[in-house]
């Protein structure tokens, strides 16, 4: 469920010219961890696109870690749930630089309009 959503998310991000503008010079690894199933993904953002989606934790000095239940993470990455609201409601734990969280919020806003 989550993997397909992330693959779809990758496609949407990579084909969106506005997101390219926003993610210029932003090269983090986004680590997505489910806490109700043993799943972990690394979304590699590089050169204004998601260059790879790995089913493992690929370590990097610049990481943004997102942790939550699989259905919540799926809802975030298919646009049903706003990540900022989910974090505020305690449905999601986000670790990393605040600026990276903002980027993620913007991507969600550009793709799904809030």
Q: How many residues does the chain have?
A: 114
Binding status of residue 94 toward other proteins by CB under 8 A: no
Nearer to other proteins, 42 or 103 (CB): 103
Neighbour count for residue 23 (Cβ, 10 Å): 21
CB of 47 to other proteins, least distance (A): 17
Binding status of residue 22 toward other proteins by CB under 8 A: yes
Binding status of residue 82 toward other proteins by CB under 8 A: yes
Q: CA 107 to CA 20: how far, in whole Å?
A: 10
**What's the Cα-to-Cα distance from 42 to each of 10, 39, 88, 99, rounded to whole Å?**
12, 10, 23, 19
Using an 8 Å Cβ cutoff, are 76 and 108 in contact?
A: yes
Which segment (3-11, 43-51, 63-71, 99-107) binds other proteins by CB under 8 A? 99-107
And the tokens for 44? 């590699």
Binding status of residue 47 toward other proteins by CB under 8 A: no
Nearer to other proteins, 55 or 97 (CB): 97
- Which residues would be at the binding site for other proteins (CB under 8 A)? 18, 21-22, 82, 84-85, 88, 101-103, 105-106, 109-110, 113-114
């Amino acid at each position: 469920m989550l993997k397909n959503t992330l693959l779809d998310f990758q496609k949407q991000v990579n084909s969106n010219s506005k997101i390219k503008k926003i993610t210029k010079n932003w090269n983090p690894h986004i680590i997505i961890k489910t806490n109700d199933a043993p799943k972990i993904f690394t979304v590699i953002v590089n050169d204004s696109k998601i260059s790879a989606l790995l089913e493992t934790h690929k370590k990097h000095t610049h990481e943004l870690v997102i942790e939550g239940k699989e259905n919540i993470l799926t809802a975030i990455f298919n646009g049903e749930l706003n990540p900022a609201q989910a974090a505020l409601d305690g449905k999601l734990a986000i670790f990393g630089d605040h600026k990276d969280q903002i980027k993620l919020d913007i991507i969600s806003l550009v793709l799904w309009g809030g």
